[in-house]
Structure formats: C-alpha cells, structure tokens
Amino acid sequence: VNTLALRWSLDNKPHLSVLDQQLLPQVEKWIGIHDCNEMIAAIKALKVRGAPLIGVSAALSLAQSALDGSSKEKLLHETAELMAARPTAVNLMNCVNRLKKIILTNLRPEVFLKEILIEALAIAQEDFELCDRMANYGAALIDSGDSILTHCNSGALATAGVGTALGVIRRAHELGKKIHVYVDETRPLLQGARLTAWELDKFQIPYTLITDNMAAHVMSLGKINKIFVGCDRIAVNGDFANKIGTYGVAVCAHYHQIPFYVVGPQTTVDSKCLSGAEIPIEQRHADEVRGASGSFGNVIWSQENTPVYNPSFDVTPAKLVTAWVLDTGVLTYKNICEGALK
Ligand code: MRU
C-alpha cells in the first residue's frame, strides 16, 4: 500500500506509516504506526483523517496487530477501540467490521492470518478503485470554464485513491477541462486551507482560498457555478453528514440556485441509518475553536475559559442535494426516494 498519506510494506516485518496531516503543509513528516493504540491516537488527533482513509488505516493496523501475534481477545478489544476513535465517519465501522467477522471465525492460525491480510489489502485496493469510479462519474458533470467551490479536504489525503469530491475535481482537470476551484478554509481545523490548497497546488489546479464566511458573498457575485463536497455518512434517505459548515454551503447554494453535488463511495452509505437525524455527531475539544494548532504549535486567542460548542460535522438534508455521485453512478433525489440507497 502506497498512497499520498499512508504506506504499508510487508518486506521483512510489517511496517505501517502515515503522513502527519496535522503538520501539513509546512512540514511533511511520516510517522511510524507500531500498534493499534498508536493508530487510534493518530486518528483522534486527525493526523490520519478523511472518512475512507480512516477506514483503510484502521483495517491495516488491525491486520498488522494480527501479524504481530495479538490474541483474538486483544484483536476484538482493538476493533472496539478503533471503532470508537471517531463516531461520525461510518467507513471506520464498515471496514473494521469486515475484519471483525474474520477474527470471530475459528480458522487455523496460518489460514486466519492469510485471510485477515487478504481482507485488509482488499479494503485498501477497493477504496482506490471506488475513488477512480467516482472521479469518472463526477468529472462528467464538470464543464470547461466551471468555477467550483469545495469544503474541507476530500482528496488523496482523505482516501487511498484520488479522493471523493476533490478526486472528481482533479479528474476533470486531468481531462483538460479548464476549471477554477474556490477552497473554503474550513474552520476549526483548517482542512481546506492546509490540505486542499496543498493538494491543488501539488496537482497544479488553479485555486483561490477563502474563509468560510466569504462563501455566500462569493456565490452572490456569480463566481461559483458548481459545488462538490465529500461525506462521512450517507443515510438511506440521502441526508448526509460532512465537515461542519457543509450545511451552510448547501443552504447558500440552494438560495443562489447553484448545483450542489455530494460525492462518496458505497463504504460511506449507512444502510441502517434511515435519516440524518440518526447520524451521531462527534463533539471535539474546545481549544480547537478557542485557537488553532499545527506545525506552528498551539495558539489560543480567546480567553482560556471561553465556553465553546464544537460539533465536528453537520447534516445536509437530501432536499438540498442536486445529485449524489457514488462509485456506482450518479443518483438523483427521485432515485433516492425510490430506495436506491436501501
Ligand atoms: O474531520 P475530517 O478531516 O476527517 O473530515 C473530513 C471530511 O469531512 C471529508 O469531507 C469527508 O471525510 C469525506 S473525504 C473523502
């Protein structure tokens, strides 16, 4: 496995490492992940982030733990701890549950290790392929001359492939379409300013960074004609959770009649979740809102005891979505009402 943000080599001894996304873009530092506890800490600290990448990384770290000789009891404990690391992105639960099924079987030790390894590698490979398919379906919705707004980071840093929403944008650029991207900075953790801008720069896609509270104004000036965002969980009625601020973007898009597309793979669909109201929303530490942290250290600019509300995600209702770009194709609201996600 060798992606923009995740590497796993099996040469002599399994070796898993991740690009520390908290330090980007100033510092590009790879950190070794030696056990599931280190992976859990990396996921909680958003060193590893993005719904699909969290799922793939958790699966690989469980496989590494099995190869390192962990008992079944320990592996089951680790599955529970990994799944609790971030509650909103359902890819984490979907991927870890695939390995849990194997852990719960009574296979001979060599067969068990082989099965778990095959499954973990399949999860990574599948994510790569899902991204590729979404990119092709989504890029067909983009025309030369489009000016596109995106929120958070949904690119190669967030998946094992080209990404979801940002993957679509990148594919359109690779196909020679002349596009411009407006990037929401994405407070509080600045995934847009730090990560999406870094990726767009790396792939030489023209872009402009704006703060989140500029998006409505930029739309009112007619500077945006399409919006693409990723997602962390899609309910069967089409409601979806994504990075906090996405709902506001969708409301503004609706007002300005700008097509609003959500891009996500099958691994982000929660078939047990009937509507967005059932999606658990992660609450994070108050200091993320009181200030900021990164390669520059930790800065607090409000009073240290300022009361804070810090939901990490919000839910966008299906009615505000123009179309859902999945790895299986592009769905309309009518398709969803007819049960396409059930
Ligand atoms: O908190 P993060 O950085 O993990 O949030 C990421 C997002 O909200 C992305 O848009 C989502 O995971 C889709 S990424 C392919």
- Give the tens place of pLDDT for each residue, 211-245: 999 999 999 999 999 999 999 999 999 999 999 99
Distance 153 CA to ligand 1 centre (A): 6
Question: What pLDDT does residue 122 have?
Answer: 98
pLDDT in tens, 253-264: 999 999 999 999
The gap from C-alpha 19 to its chain's centroid, in whole angstroms, comes to 15
Residue 86 CA to residue 25 CA, distance in Å, equals: 23
Closest-CA residue, ligand 1 atom 14, reads 154
The pLDDT assigned to 13 comes to 82
The stretches in the chain having pLDDT less than 50 are none
Q: Facing residues of 243 across strands? A: 313
Position 152 scores a pLDDT of 98
Whole-number Å distance between alpha carbons of 118 and 109? 14
Q: What pTM does this model have?
A: 0.97
For residue 227, the cross-strand partners are 149, 260
* 3-state helix, strand and coil shares in percent for the chain, rounded to the nearest 5: 40, 20, 40
Q: Ligand 1 centroid to 91 CA: how many Å?
A: 11
Residue in 227, 305, 233 with CA at minimum distance from that of residue 269: 233
The amino acid present at 223, given as its one-letter code, is: K
- Return d(Cα 269, Cα 236) in angstroms, integer: 7
Q: How far is the CA of 89 from the centre of ligand 1 (A)?
A: 8
Q: Note the pLDDT of residue 98.
A: 98
**Ligand 1 — pocket residues by CB below 6 A?**
46, 49-52, 89, 152, 154, 158-159, 163-164, 191, 230-232, 242-243, 312
Q: What is the pLDDT of residue 12?
A: 79
Mutation to probe ligand 1, out of 18, 49, 247 (largest number of atoms < 8 A from CB): 49
pLDDT tens digits along 104-153: 999 999 999 999 999 999 999 999 999 999 999 999 999 999 999 999 99
The token pair at 192 is 């847009």
CA separation for the pair 266, 340 (Å, rounded): 12
- What's the one-letter identity of residue 157? L
Residue 13 phi, psi (nearest 5): -130, 145
Query: Residue 11: what pLDDT?
Result: 84
| Interatomic CA distance for residues 6 and 71, integer angstroms | 25
Among this protein's residues, is 68 annotated catalytic?
no
Instruction: Determine which residue's CA is closest to atom 10 belonging to ligand 1.
Output: 230
pLDDT of residue 267: 86
DSSP for 206-265, please give it: -EEEE-GGGHHHHHHTT---EEEE--SEEETTS-EEEETTHHHHHHHHHHTT--EEEE--
> Using CA atoms, how far apart are residues 170 and 73, in angstroms rounded to an integer?
43
| Pocket test residue of 21, 186, 191 for ligand 1, highest count of atoms within 8 A of CB | 191
Quote the ligand 1 centre to 319 CA distance (angstroms). Answer: 21
